[in-house]
Amino acid sequence: MAGARAAIRYAKAILSLATDQKKADAVNNDMKLMANTIADNIELANMLNSAVIKSEEKKAVLLAIFPELNHISASLFDVLITNKRVDILNNIALQYSILFDELNGKELASVTTAVPMTKDLESKVLKKVKELTNKEVTLENIVDESILGGFILRVGDKQYNASISNKLNKLKKEFTLN
């Protein structure tokens, strides 16, 4: 991911400024809006990454697309234009939301299953993850038929793989080594 370390530094700086001014929630909403808009609009992403389009034109487009931003969020455009880093705006927005959630004791857990989870199973998984992390957890379900069955749970930097495909691979390795 190009500019990942720089994006984290910008996100930390914005979070610090927003927290000092007691605007962290508003800025987080702005960052989510920016990240979703850029992710959903390939033309916007291409424009931000283009070396042909002038920085002032990029700024004008961003201000036209996001007219209702908090002044902290809008001032980010100026900083990125000045430093010629507007291409990492999406990464900054994503990192900000992650840092904001960490600051507020929230965590994202992703569960990969072969079929969509039922509400009952989702509530059980949420309860168990909350016990393990002691944080407020948001659950994301990813459907991947290649795991055949079972699940893969990721919380932060921890992963628990209870998928059928993982168990079959372990058996395969065991038989090929003997």
Instruction: Say yes or no: 169 and 117 in one domain.
Output: yes
> What backbone torsions phi and psi does residue 86 show, to the nearest 5 degrees?
-60, -20
Instruction: Say yes or no: 60 and 133 in one domain.
Output: no
* Residue 86 · residue 48 · CB < 8 Å: yes
Instruction: Say yes or no: 85 and 132 in one domain.
Output: no
Average pLDDT score over residue span 30-52: 94
The parent domain of residue 113 ranges over: 107-177
Segment 93-117, tens digit of pLDDT? 999 998 998 888 888 788 888 889 8
Any idea what the CATH number is for the domain that residue 43 is in? 1.10.520.20
Instruction: Say yes or no: 93 and 35 in one domain.
Output: yes
Instruction: Say yes or no: 125 and 149 in one domain.
Output: yes
Domain final residue, candidates 102, 135, 150: 102
Instruction: Say yes or no: 93 and 124 in one domain.
Output: no
Domain final residue, candidates 102, 134, 168: 102
Instruction: Say yes or no: 34 and 93 in one domain.
Output: yes
Domain final residue, candidates 77, 102, 127: 102
Q: Is the pLDDT of residue 77 over 90?
A: yes
Q: Is the pLDDT of residue 3 over 80?
A: no
**pTM for this predicted structure:** 0.70
Q: d(Cα 81, Cα 59) in Å, to the nearest integer? A: 7
Instruction: Say yes or no: 95 and 111 in one domain.
Output: no
User: How many domains would you assign to the chain?
Assistant: 2
Q: d(Cα 17, Cα 37) in Å, to the nearest integer? A: 23
Instruction: Say yes or no: 31 and 98 in one domain.
Output: yes
